[in-house]
Structure 1
Amino acid sequence: MDDFQKFLETTVTTQQNSIQAYELSTGKVWLKKASERHGLWLYTPLKWLAKIFNLGAIMPVPNQGGSKAIQCEFNRINQLKQLGISTPNILAVSANGLLLEDLGVQHQGKVKQLDQALAGRRKKPEMQFSLFKQAIQEIQNIHLKEGYLSEAFARNILIDEQNHFSFIDFETDPRDVLSLHDCFVRDWLLFIFSTAYHFEFEQLTDASQVLYQALLAEPQVYKDICKVGKRLNWVSRLNVRKVGNDGKRIQKCVLFLRYLNEQSEVNSST
């Protein structure tokens, strides 16, 4: 039994949190413990939208929790690594937990969530749009290899100081309940939902143009994303700002989807 396996099996029995960081002699690691997961209603407001409009592609995929979630993450990380996608290195695994190397150690430098990076570049629009475009290219690269993510929120996309991308959080497998095509659609919808919020309202048209250009390579995926947008379009007429940041996030997402749909008309007439 190597040191990592021993550390996992002795520590997982006393760890209280479902995930916790530790500093070992080799560097920072994360221990994910098999535990029961909370109900899907925690995935609001996305869950709210999916439920009302029967949009399966954005419905949170059930997390079975316990050892099944650990095994799922183990399998999904290995699947993506075989495609050449950067994910955390697995140091040890058991039925009760998973020990992962911190991505900062892997990249030998600081990493941050795409969510944080986009927010930090709001006062520098050119840099913000450049990062947004790079993130889109990374997801598109995964799709070209017939891969897909589990929860393609910006918080689960990490970048290092050289703008190299990595992906985390694989306790669910959308392929268990969706076709590969719908997994692609789901990736883009979750990405839009978690990134549109970081742009000003007047920037959303330009941001949608960036994604539109990428989706020219995935025409049917583009059409299905636009179908979702059309079904949500009426939300933009509501005063969702009254419900705070969640409402503003929904509003920007719906506007982004509307502008994305309009891009085909604008570009066909030019």
Structure 2
Amino acid sequence: MALSPQDLHRIAQSRGWRDGRVEVFDTASGKVTVKGLRATRHAARYHLLNGVARLLGLPFLQAAPMPGGRQAQQTEVARLRALHGVGARVPEVLHVDEDHFVMRWLGQDHLGDVIQSHHPQAAALWREAGDALVRLHAAGQYLSQGFARNMIVDGAPAAPRLAGLIDFEDDPLQVMSLPDAQVRDWLTYLHSTLWMLPMPEAEADARIDAWMAAESPAVRARYLQACRRMSWLRFLPRHRRFGRDTLSLQAAAAAAHRYLQRHTGAPTSD
């Protein structure tokens, strides 16, 4: 997919991505997404979270630096190109300029919204996204922010499919190992989906078991460690009036507790 000089000029002159940071354009070659620079962020905002992660002995909870500006753009472009190079479903980078870059448009439907709406294909899409994570990790790669909001669904076909993954402005390998970054993908993915997943617990548990069985021993060990540390959060209230964050933590912790019971054969501490 190549952009014409006319399209590049129209994009460069637009106020849309300057004011709103992200803008979608119709071009002669198809739809594209333009992303401008994010304001620079101060590293001090991450010190507390990183300190807690070290205190708990869970390095994969560390925040990856998100400096903004050109550095963030360079990081995202490099990550997108690396992921595209191994066949991952990410937007193809089409053009890079000093204050913006252009990538292929994937769509506007987020997996989180699709699952929460209880779409008839929600469970199938949840499985497809998890399978994509397994393949990504097998290729030696990882995400940046593995939340369902960063997974785009193509809703055009009769049977919707996962169109791709977005948002790579930070690089977790700056502060953690590859297995840590990969297990963080699972924690963020499950945290952002399990609480609203229209699927029986036993079926979801079986799928998590299959995904972990396909992962490296290092990732499985770290996931088990995370399950031990977060299992007690299953006692959080499950009522919607306590908010989405509480519901999502409770559901992920309950799944972690069940995983421990299946894979250690011993009761967990309350």
Shift of 1:169: 0.7
Name the counterpart of 1:188: 186
Tell me the CA shift for residue 119 of structure 1.
Answer: 2.1
The answer as to 2:69 corresponding to 1:66 is yes
What's the offset of the Cα at 1:71? Answer: 0.9
> Could you say which residue in structure 2 is the equivalent of 1:145?
139
Q: 1:108 — aligned with what?
A: none
**Consecutive unaligned residues in structure 1, runs of 5 or more:** 105-110
Structure 2 equivalent of residue 117 of structure 1:
114
The reply on whether 1:248 has 2:247 as its aligned counterpart is yes
Match for residue 87 of structure 2 among 84, 106, 127: 84
1:29 aligns with 2:27: no
Per mean C-alpha deviation after superposition, the further-off stretch among 90-99 and 22-31 is 22-31
Q: Which SS does the other structure have where 2:19 is aligned?
A: coil
Counterpart for residue 127 of structure 2: 133
Which AA in structure 2 matches 1:137?
D
Task: Give the Å deviation of 1:13.
Answer: 9.2
Could you tell me how far apart the structure 2 residues matched to 1:96 and 1:209 are? 46
2:258 equivalent in structure 1? 259
Q: What amino acid is aligned across from residue 152 of structure 1 in structure 2? A: G
Let me know the Cα RMSD of the aligned residues: 3.2
Give the fraction of aligned pairs with identical amino acids, expressed as a percent.
24
Contact 1:34 1:96 in 2 (8 A): yes
What letter matches 2:78 in structure 1? N
Q: Which has the higher contact order (CA 8 A, sep 6+)?
A: 1
Is residue 195 of structure 2 the alignment partner of residue 197 of structure 1? yes
* CA gap 1:16/1:48 in 2 versus in 1, 3 angstroms: farther
Superposed CA deviations along residues 116-174 of structure 1, whole A, max 9, x for unmatched, are 2222336x5xx443322221111100111111111111111123235244111111111
Paired residue for 2:268?
none
Displacement of 1:261 in angstroms is 2.3
Q: 2: CA distance between counterparts of 1:256 and 1:118?
A: 18
Instruction: Give distance in 2, aligned partners of 1:41 and 1:243.
Output: 30
Aligned partners of 2:61 and 2:184 also within 8 Å:
yes
Alignment of 1:12-51 (within 5 A): 15-36=18-39
- The more displaced of 49-58 and 3-12 is 49-58
* TM-score normalised to structure 1 length: 0.81
C-alpha contact 2:34 2:103 (8 A) present in aligned 1: yes
Which whole-Å deviations, capped at 9, do the CAs of 1:5-25 have from their partners, x for residues lacking one? Answer: 433433369721122223344
Q: In structure 2, how many angstroms separate the alpha carbons of the residues matched to 1:17 and 1:139?
A: 30
Q: Deviations over 1:242-262 (max 9, x none)?
A: 632211111111111112222
Aligned pair in 2 of structure 1 residues 203, 13: CA closer, same or farther (>3 Å)?
closer
How many residues of Structure 1 are paired with residues of Structure 2 in the alignment? 254
Q: Which runs of 5+ in 2 are unaligned?
A: 266-270
**Alpha-carbon offset, residue 208 of structure 1:** 2.2
Residues in 2 aligned to 1:192 and 1:40: alpha-carbon distance in whole angstroms: 27
